[in-house]
Amino acid sequence: MAAPRFSRPEDVLSRLSKEPIAALYLFHGDEAYLIDRAVDQVRGRLPRDTLVQTFYAGQDPVEAVLDAWGVPSLFAPQTLVILRSAEQLRDEERERLGKEAEFRDAGQPLVVCAHGRLELNRKFFSRCAKTGFAAEFRRPFANQIPVWAQRLARERKLRLSDEAAQLLSELIGPDLLALSTELDKVATFVFPDTDIDARAVESCTGNIHQHEAFELADALGRRDQKKALGLLRQVLSDERRALPVLHTLVGHFRRLWQLHDAQAQGLPETHMERALGLRGQRLRRLSNQSRLYSVPDLRRVVHRAAALDRRLKSARTPVGVLFDALVLDICARPR
Q: Are 263 and 287 in contact (CB under 8 A)?
A: yes
Q: Are 195 and 157 in contact (CB under 8 A)?
A: no
Are 191 and 267 contained in the same domain?
no
Where on the phi/psi map is residue 66: left (φ > 0), alpha (ψ -120 to 50), or beta?
A: alpha
Q: Is residue 292 a part of any domain in this protein?
A: yes
CA distance 70 to 89: 20
Q: Is residue 196 a part of any domain in this protein?
A: yes
Q: What is the pLDDT of residue 157?
A: 94
Q: Is residue 129 a part of any domain in this protein?
A: yes
Are 118 and 71 contained in the same domain?
yes
| DSSP secondary structure letters along 288-304 | HHHTT--HHHHHHHHHH
Q: What is the pLDDT of residue 89?
A: 93
Residues with Cβ within 8 Å of 147's Cβ and at least 6 positions away in sequence, in order, are 165
Q: Is residue 74 a part of any domain in this protein?
A: yes
Torsion of CA 198, 203, 206, 208, to 10 degrees: 70
CATH number at residue 173: 1.10.8.60
CA distance 71 to 77: 11
- Please tell me the total count of domains within the chain: 3
CA distance 328 to 229: 9
Q: Is residue 3 a part of any domain in this protein?
A: no
Are 299 and 182 contained in the same domain?
no
CA distance 34 to 40: 10
Are 18 and 56 contained in the same domain?
yes
Q: Is residue 89 a part of any domain in this protein?
A: yes
Q: Is residue 2 a part of any domain in this protein?
A: no
Are 214 and 198 contained in the same domain?
no
Q: Is residue 314 a part of any domain in this protein?
A: yes
Strand, coil or helix: 195: strand
Are 320 and 247 contained in the same domain?
yes
Range of the domain at 302: 210-331
| pLDDT tens for the 335 residues of the chain, in order | 555 554 789 899 999 999 999 999 999 998 888 999 999 999 999 988 888 899 999 888 999 999 888 766 566 578 899 999 899 899 999 999 998 888 877 778 999 999 888 888 898 999 999 999 999 998 888 889 999 999 999 999 999 999 999 988 877 778 787 788 788 878 887 888 999 999 888 777 655 555 566 678 778 877 788 888 888 887 777 777 787 778 777 877 888 888 888 887 777 777 777 667 666 777 787 888 888 888 888 888 888 888 888 788 776 778 888 888 888 888 876 55
Backbone angles phi, psi at 107, to 5 degrees: -70, -25
Pick the last residue of a domain from 114, 137, 160.
137
Are 255 and 166 contained in the same domain?
no
CB atoms within 10 A of CB 17: 11
Q: What is the pLDDT of residue 160?
A: 96
| DSSP secondary structure letters along 63-130 | HHHHHHTT---SS-S-EEEEEE-GGG--HHHHHHHHHHHTT--TTS-EEEEEEB---TTSTTHHHHHH
Are 153 and 251 contained in the same domain?
no
CA distance 159 to 164: 10
Residues with Cβ within 8 Å of 24's Cβ and at least 6 positions away in sequence, in order, are 101, 104, 109, 110, 112, 127, 128, 131, 132, 133
Pick the last residue of a domain from 137, 154, 181.
137
Residues with Cβ within 8 Å of 136's Cβ and at least 6 positions away in sequence, in order, are 3, 5, 28, 29, 117, 118
Pick the last residue of a domain from 152, 183, 205.
205
Q: Are 58 and 22 in contact (CB under 8 A)?
A: no
CA distance 237 to 260: 31
Q: What is the pLDDT of residue 66?
A: 92
Are 279 and 190 contained in the same domain?
no
**SS3 per-residue string spanning 37-57:** HHHHHHHHHCCCCCEEEEEEC
CATH number at residue 265: 1.20.272.10
Are 21 and 118 contained in the same domain?
yes
Q: Are 199 and 206 in contact (CB under 8 A)?
A: no
Backbone angles phi, psi at 105, to 5 degrees: -135, -175
Q: What is the pLDDT of residue 211?
A: 57
Are 326 and 219 contained in the same domain?
yes
CB atoms within 10 A of CB 41: 17
CATH number at residue 82: 3.40.50.300
- C-alpha torsion sign, points 9, 100, 68, 80: positive
Are 35 and 72 contained in the same domain?
yes
